[in-house]
Amino acid sequence: MARVFAGEYARARLPLYQERVLTPSGACCRMIFLSGALTETGFRGPDRWHGRVADPTGVFEIRAERPDREQQDALRDLSVPSFVTVAGEAVFFSGDAGPGVLLDTISESDRGVRDRWVVRTAEITVGRIAVLADALSSGAGPEPVLAALKQYDVTGDVLQELAGMVCHALDGVTSSSRPSRSKEEISEAVLAIIRESGGKKGISYDDLAAIAKTSGIGGQELREAVRVLLEEDECYQPAREVFKAL
């Protein structure tokens, strides 16, 4: 069950990858789990209900089609607006330009559930971005990631856009939904970013800060973590403001 933000999923385009929707960060989506605000429902034609579910980055298009009358009724009976969780099949609807979700289950939830979904989806997306960045610099990586690099002409600017999307999503999350971490955990997370995204030449501080921010690590926390990692010989600086794991 894939987790992707609407802002990334909406950028997916044909062709399919192994009968799955491939997103720019390399997520292979057959089934999707999402949470957001149900902003619209309506009847379209004799055999389907549609809905729109928004997360902080964009909107998912949802459909419940015959003969699944139970899910049509569930979508129809929900209040608008309301927070919901959705599981469904990742598809390209016939005649539409973008991808959508064919409804499997939908249920009412609350902001806390939505915020926890955002935090977890951000963590997963950051992991994909790190693998994508490494593949971009090395030319090697998992097959879906290499397919995404080619299909979406991924560049450093695309990576920055994806990271910015994650930051924007986290900006709307309440502090109570963010997991608290010790200084040691933050240092371990920063070191993992350096290892995964440094490549042969290392990672610049600006790129490190952009990826760290998507994991909820602020500027002061990052500077302190880098200082500790340098003092403990976990990383070094091959050039000014560039960091590489030992």
**pLDDT at residue 84, as a whole number:** 94
Judged against a pLDDT cut of 60, whether residue 102 lies above it is answered with yes
**Which helix (H) or strand (E) is 190 found in, with range?**
helix 183-197
**pLDDT at residue 61, as a whole number:** 93
The winner for highest mean pLDDT among 38-47, 95-104, 182-191, 214-223 is: 182-191
Judged against a pLDDT cut of 70, whether residue 238 lies above it is answered with yes
Q: What is the mean pLDDT of residues 163-186?
A: 79
Judged against a pLDDT cut of 80, whether residue 180 lies above it is answered with no
More confident residue, 67 or 189: 189
**pLDDT at residue 97, as a whole number:** 60
The winner for highest mean pLDDT among 20-24, 38-42, 220-224 is: 20-24
pLDDT digits (tens, 9 = 90+) for 4-31: 999 999 999 988 999 999 999 999 999 9
Q: E strands of 77-151, at which residues?
A: 82-92, 99-108
**pLDDT at residue 66, as a whole number:** 64
DSSP assignment string, 35-77: EEEEEEEEE-STTEEEEEEEETTEEEEEEEETT-HHHHHHHHH
Alpha carbon 241 to its chain's center: 28
Q: What is the mean pLDDT of residues 216-224?
A: 85
Please state, for a pLDDT cut of 70, what percent of the chain lies above it: 93
Average pLDDT taken over every residue of the chain:
88
Could you give the CA distance from residue 135 to residue 140 in angstroms, rounded to a whole number?
A: 5
Q: E strands of 130-234, at which residues?
A: 203-204
**pLDDT at residue 72, as a whole number:** 76
**Which helix (H) or strand (E) is 225 found in, with range?**
helix 219-231
**pLDDT at residue 176, as a whole number:** 53
Could you give the CA distance from residue 21 to residue 236 in angstroms, rounded to a whole number?
A: 40
Judged against a pLDDT cut of 70, whether residue 175 lies above it is answered with no
Question: Closest by alpha carbon to 213, among 180, 150, 170, 246?
Answer: 170
- What is the chain's alpha carbon radius of gyration, rounded to the nearest angstrom? 20
Judged against a pLDDT cut of 80, whether residue 37 lies above it is answered with yes
pLDDT digits (tens, 9 = 90+) for 109-134: 998 899 999 989 998 999 899 899 99
- Kindly report whether the peptide bond that precedes residue 238 is cis, defined as omega within 30 degrees of 0: no
**Domains (ranges, CATH) in the chain?**
6-110 (2.40.50.140), 114-245 (no CATH)
In sequence order, the 6+-apart residues with CB closer than 8 A to the CB of 90 are: 2, 9, 20, 21, 29, 30, 31, 32, 99, 101
